[in-house]
Amino acid sequence: MQPELAARIISANTAGIAEIRLSATQAPAVYEMVRFPLEIDGRPIELLGEITEIDGDTAVVQLYEGAEALSVGGIALPTGEPSICRVAPGMPGVRMSGVGSSLDSMPGQHIPRGEHFSPLADLRAGFEACAAPGDRLPVGALLGRAHVGGLDYRVNAPHDRLQRDGLVEWVAAPGEYGVGEIIATLRYSKDEVREISMTSEYPVRQPRPVARRLRAIRPLFTGKRAIDSSMVLLEGGKFIVIGGAGTGKTWFTQDLAKYSNVDLVVLVLCGERSGEATEVVINYQKMGLMDRTVVILNTSAQSAQARGQSVRFGAAVCEGLRDMGMNVLMIVDSLSRQGQGDRETAGMLGKMPGKQSFPVDMPSVMAATFERCGRATCLGGFDASITGVMAVSPDGDDYEGDAIAQVARQYADGTVILTNKVAHRGYYPAVGFGAGLSTSKTTGMERRDDLRSFFDERKLHDWIELGDQITATVADSEGPLTDQIKVLTAKRMSAEDYRRYLLGNVYRRAFFVQDSGHTVDQRTSPERMLVMMRFCRDLGAAFPLLQDKEHARTLADQLGGKAYEVTLLEDGYEEAYQAILAWLHNATGKDRAGDEGQDHAAV
C-alpha cells in the first residue's frame, strides 16, 4: 500500500488503544485486523491490532502488544480480513500465543515484541487421498487423510462462502508433505481454481458451521471419582471448576487432561503468572501430555487485549480440530482472567460498567464461549465433540458473590467447587458438596433416562442412584450436620444424625479422596468405581446405630482408614472390601445385641 493511502495514527495510550484516521479509499469492518509497521533500534517490527469501533473516518484499534511505541502520524495498515485461526494435523506439542504466534521459535529466549512466527511452519504429515480427479466434493467432504503422531486427521474440502461444490482437478500422491504444501486443486467455476493444503483457516470470532448440533448424552469418563460418580461430565458438555488459592485447581484440571477419554487437549492459559504458566507446561511435559496437547498461552504480564483474545482463539483451534474428526477437551485457566482483561479494556474505552465493573456484555461474551463447545454432526457427515472444562478463580475465594462465577454457572452443565474447608482437612480433590456447592445438570430428570440406558448397556447398573446416595450423605455430613455439631456438640445430637455425620466422613475417605501421585489411585476405571460405590452402599446399611458416640466415632475412623488403604490396592480390592464388611459385623455384634435389648426394654 502506498504511504499516502495508508491510515494514520491520531492518538494512542498505554492501555493498548489507538485511534486511526482512515483514508478516503478505506472502508474496514469491525474486528478487521490492522498492522502497525515500526522500526525500533534499527529492527523492523509489526504490531497487530483489531478494530473495535468505527465512527466516520475514525477507527478505534485494540493492540495485542501495547501501543507505547506508536506515534501520532504513524502508519496503520488495515488488512481487509479479520483475525484468522489456522489449524493443521500434527499440532499436539505446539505452544502458541493467543493471537496465533509460535512460542517455540526461539527456544530459551524471550520472543521479541512485534515479531510473529507461524507455529505450523515446520509441521509435516503423511497424506493419503480419499478422492480422485473428477470427483465433486461439497463443503466439508473428505478429501484425504493425514497421519501423524498416531492420529488420523480428516482433510476436508474447504469452507466456501457461496456453499459451492468443488471439482477435484488434481490430488497429490501418497507421501509426507508439509502442512502448508499444496496437496490438491479444486475448481469452483470456470475462472476459479483453489489450491488446497492440509491447513484449515477460519475467522477466530466466527464459529465454524456444522450440519447439526447434537445433544450431549454420552458420559466422558475422567477417572476421577468425584466427577464420574456424581456429576457425570458429558462428551460435548461444559463444566466449570471454581477454586481459590490452595484448593488444587490446577492439579485437578491436569488430571482431567491426562485421563479423560478424548483424542486431543487444548490448554488455554489465560492471564496466569509467568512462573506458574511455565510450571504447568513443564508438568504437562513430565506427565507425557504434550503428545496430545496444544498450549495457548498469554500471561498476566501481557496486554488485556491479548488475554481476552486467548480464550476465543482457543475455542477456534478446538473447532478446527473437531472438523478434522477429533474429540477435543478444552481446558481454560481461567475465565476470571479473561473477564478481568475485558474489564480493563472496557474501562479504557469508556464502556458502561455492569456488576463488579465488568462490561455489560460480559454474559453474552461468556455465553458465546460456552456455545462453541458441544457435540455436533460436522459438514462432512461425521460426529465429533468439544468438551469444555473452564476454571474460575473468584476474587477473595467468594464463589457465591463473584460475577464471573455466577454467570458461568448459568451456562455450564455442571459446577465443581473446590473449597478451602475440605482442602484444609487434607482431602484432595477438595470437591465440596451440598447446598450452593458442586452441582450437575447432567443427572437431572431430562437426561436421567438416557444416562441410565448408557450405564445399563455397559453393565454399570444403579450408577446414578449410588452416586446420588453417596453424594447426598457427604453433603449432609459436611453441611447441616457439621453446623449442628458446632451448635449442639456431638453429645446432644440424635444418634441417627450423628450416624449419618460419621458415614459422610467415611465416604469422603473411602471414595472421594484420590491420590493423584499414586500409580493405582490416580485413575479409577468405571468397573472398579462401581465396586467402590456398592461397598459404600453396603457399608451404610451395615453401620450400626450406636448410642455410645465416642465408640461410633472410633469405629468410623477405623473404617475410613481401612477403606482408604483398599483404594491403593491394584488387585484383590473386592475381597478386601468384603473383609472390611465382615470385620464391621464382628466388631459391632455385641453393640447390635445391646441396642436391640434396649429397644425391647423400652417397648
Q: What is the pLDDT of residues 71-96, one digit of tens each?
A: 999 999 999 999 999 999 999 999 99
Cα four-point dihedral sign 270, 276, 282, 285: negative
pLDDT digits (tens, 9 = 90+) for 134-163: 999 999 999 999 999 999 999 999 987 777
pLDDT > 90 fraction of the chain, expressed in percent and rounded: 65
Average pLDDT of span 184-195: 93
Calculate the alpha carbon distances from 180 to 102, 123, 380, 429 in Å.
16, 8, 22, 43
DSSP 234: B
pLDDT for 118 equals: 86
Question: Is the pLDDT at 397 greater than 90, yes or no?
Answer: no
pLDDT for 299 equals: 83
CA dist 78 and 546 (Å) reads 77
Say if residues 344 and 15 touch (Cβ distance below 8 Å).
Answer: yes
Residues 423, 470 within the same domain: no
DSSP conformation letters of 448-509: HHHHHHHHHHTT-TTHHHHHHHHHHHHHHHHTHHHHHHHHH-GGGS-HHHHHHHHHHHHHII
The answer for residues whose C-beta is within 8 angstroms of residue 343's C-beta and 6 or more apart is 353, 357, 358, 359, 362
For residue 107, is it within any domain? no
Nearest to 324 by CA among 267, 372, 389, 263: 263
Question: Is the pLDDT at 1 greater than 70, yes or no?
Answer: no
Say if residues 32 and 51 touch (Cβ distance below 8 Å).
Answer: yes
Residues 241, 193 within the same domain: no
pLDDT digits (tens, 9 = 90+) for 467-484: 999 999 999 999 999 999
Residues 227, 176 within the same domain: no
Residues 480, 426 within the same domain: no
CA dist 564 and 580 (Å) reads 11
The average confidence (pLDDT) of the chain is 89
Say if residues 79 and 147 touch (Cβ distance below 8 Å).
Answer: no
Q: Output the domain CATH number for residue 429.
A: 3.40.50.300
Write down the pTM of the prediction: 0.92
pLDDT for 454 equals: 92
For residue 325, is it within any domain? yes
pLDDT band at 598 (very low <50, low <70, confident <90, very high): very low
Question: Is the pLDDT at 125 greater than 90, yes or no?
Answer: yes
pLDDT digits (tens, 9 = 90+) for 544-566: 998 899 999 999 999 999 999 99
pLDDT for 601 equals: 35
Neighbours of 104 (CB within 10 A): 14
Average pLDDT of span 458-462: 94
User: What is the domain extent for residue 503?
Assistant: 463-602
For residue 67, is it within any domain? yes
Domain count, the chain: 4
Could you list the beta-strand ranges (E) of 191-292. Answer: 193-196, 200-203, 212-214, 238-243, 264-272
pLDDT for 602 equals: 34
Nearest to 204 by CA among 285, 291, 287, 306: 306
CA dist 173 and 275 (Å) reads 46
Question: Is the pLDDT at 115 greater than 90, yes or no?
Answer: no
For residue 470, is it within any domain? yes
Q: The C-alpha cell of 514 is what?
A: 484420590
Question: Is the pLDDT at 411 greater than 50, yes or no?
Answer: yes
Residues 194, 259 within the same domain: no
CA angle 459, 463, 464 (to 5 degrees): 140
Average pLDDT of span 393-422: 89
